[in-house]
Structure 1
């Protein structure tokens, strides 16, 4: 199916402009982390700037167990079980951090969580136990694929991984290892999303929203808001660690900079603001949007993106046409596009804050007058 689309005229053009599967797999597991960040920050109003601590905990736990460096957890433990255990470890860590942090509010809460995350970042970055060069991170030693599915049932287990993984043939469709990883990781993310949605639509979730809207009133009604905040923090940490475990399983390696560093939580905040703060699914769309812009404006000469597209379609004559002072069309394109994707994403972020404060999904919900799943069918029927 993929080859049919690529070989068609429209499919070839779309392939040049759309993000590749190799980009989409990291988008999915990081989007899960961004959703876990939104779960606590968007629904209780407490910004967890140190949320990367739980993402990194999950990633390092999976990598270290796989390398046989975690006592009492054998290296042959099924990968799905490792993801669950990583979530539990991160939830316990969140309870310890939250017991101190939730004594504070506002910017003080954000700063103390950031402080805890930086302590863990420095610790892991200099902890020789994780590897001979801890600053480079941990590499997963096993060459076997890390299976996602039902442990013990081979037919329901598929290996994910950037270097190793399963290839699947379904009728006339041949899925590569990367494509298998995309669908399997997507199923895990989807399951986690539904679990968080169920929690948010429970009485527990309604108390979370009450805390965000007016915590003093929630206390006056009789709710122990400290316990609810602590529980929400632990739940969000659980899913953040699952996302980190997916990172380690797919990349087969993890470093402090891509897991524990505070800017990782900053990327989650960026995704939440672009997608819609307090919408849960919004961070997925926000991160997909920002990563699509990055790849679209990537300096890479292969794969999707505007720069390779222009190089291929503008023609040699136009590319060498002089504009001003010796600068040609080709050099102008290179100057303004080559390697400046992050600059444009930053400008886009500022524009969203100023003109689309509710984000992509939040704005759509405002236009429809409620959740998209409930309101969209009625709006579609108007045009049928």
Structure 2
């Protein structure tokens, strides 16, 4: 069997996931313009939401690469995400030596990853002398030091506490082949390229172009991470997670392996931060360096499945989709606006109990409480689905889904 067919057979699930993401914008457009427009608008996540899911999922994957495969929880992982994000914005504003607004964004992605990897090397060389909760706390401490530093550093902008935005240019950051205009597209909420008449009949909005461009970068990074996980290097990381003393006893320098994984993880976290800044064209200390950014990565990893690499993508999609569905009005659809628009004035004004109307009850329980419900779902996941979505499916099907499902399909076909 030729290698492309063999690869496709062995990665059937991956190809299916990529296909679903690829066709989702078209499905979403058809759905929200159908007779059930209100229902689909409330249920389906927006394309812009999926863009956020993609670049943050890469960050969560980098977190899972070190925390899920070595067992060392890096609570300070936001330091690398913020490093990549700030580097892109500062370079675009001409504040960094040798890097200016004319620097290709694809090169900035690599430089942001390298800068984050250097920070990871410095932090990891100290932190990995500890283990367990002490490792988690010292990485958190380093991250908070950087957070306070960047929040009060006047070099980044006139009001560093409020963050910094790209100034001086309205052109979006370009993803593609540097120097080849026809093979690169600009990304951004307001500055991205739109495409008309692709293949003669496909038209893409600026947000959809950003979705595909950022998705391509995330896919490449995921494949690189997956290759690392399935290499002999990745097997040693798993051995460290299962029994570090035994791995050390058979001759592995576990300190070097852990530090190397930490540096690689920092690189991809920096790339994720660069994608975030490239799309948003701004960054603040809170969404760059604050420790809760790493907390969101931990949440995505637990929901999707710790130590699964792809799990954080599904965990972040579930988290972000639930937040949007339960968001208050103005959050881009969701349950609350749908109920207000479709229940009718008579139903909304109906008294339920002690003078409380249906409308007031809806506002009380739904308006602005998305985080509360996501928290409840998180607790339920920890109690009843401790291995996360992907981890549970792997247990159910007896191994990695990319191999288990084709095997099951083959057995079913033969029977």
Question: 1:336-355, aligned counterparts within 5 Å?
Answer: 336-355=365-384
Measure, in 2, the Cα distance between the counterparts of 1:290 and 1:150.
33
Measure, in 1, the Cα distance between the counterparts of 2:165 and 2:93.
8
Question: 2:101 aligns to what?
Answer: 75
Question: 1:272-287, aligned counterparts within 5 Å?
Answer: 272-287=301-316
Question: 2:245 aligns to what?
Answer: 216
Measure, in 2, the Cα distance between the counterparts of 1:138 and 1:175.
29
Q: CA RMSD in A?
A: 1.4
Question: 1:153 aligns to what?
Answer: 180
Question: Quick check: 1:202 aligned with 2:248?
Answer: no
Question: 1:284-303, aligned counterparts within 5 Å?
Answer: 284-301=313-330, 303=332
Measure, in 1, the Cα distance between the counterparts of 2:412 and 2:194.
43
Question: 1:90 aligns to what?
Answer: 116
Contiguous gaps of at least 5 residues in structure 2 = 1-25
How far is 1:24 from its partner? 1.4
Question: Quick check: 1:363 aligned with 2:392?
Answer: yes
Question: 1:103-142, aligned counterparts within 5 Å?
Answer: 103-141=129-167, 142=169
Question: 1:32 aligns to what?
Answer: 58
Write out per-residue CA displacement over residues 218-247 of structure 1, whole angstroms, 9 at most, x where no aligned residue: 111111111111100000000000000011
Measure, in 1, the Cα distance between the counterparts of 2:367 and 2:69.
39
Measure, in 1, the Cα distance between the counterparts of 2:114 and 2:61.
18
Report which stretch shifted further, 101-110 or 324-333: 324-333
Question: 1:166 aligns to what?
Answer: 193
**Given that residues 93 and 100 in structure 2 are in contact (C-alpha distance below 8 angstroms), is that contact kept between their aligned partners in structure 1?**
no
**Given that residues 163 and 252 in structure 1 are in contact (C-alpha distance below 8 angstroms), is that contact kept between their aligned partners in structure 2?**
no
Write out per-residue CA displacement over residues 292-344 of structure 1, whole angstroms, 9 at most, x where no aligned residue: 11111111246321111112222222111111111111211111111100001
Measure, in 1, the Cα distance between the counterparts of 2:367 and 2:87.
37
Question: 2:268 aligns to what?
Answer: 239
SS of equivalent residue, structure 1 residue 92: helix
TM-score, normalised via structure 1 length: 0.97
**Given that residues 301 and 307 in structure 1 are in contact (C-alpha distance below 8 angstroms), is that contact kept between their aligned partners in structure 2?**
no
CA 1:160/1:344 → structure 2, altered by over 3 Å: closer, same or farther?
A: same
Q: 82, 85, 94: which is aligned to 1:56?
A: 82
Q: 368, 379, 383: which is aligned to 2:408?
A: 379
Measure, in 1, the Cα distance between the counterparts of 2:248 and 2:142.
27
Contiguous gaps of at least 5 residues in structure 1 = none
Question: Quick check: 1:9 aligned with 2:35?
Answer: yes
SS of equivalent residue, structure 1 residue 174: strand
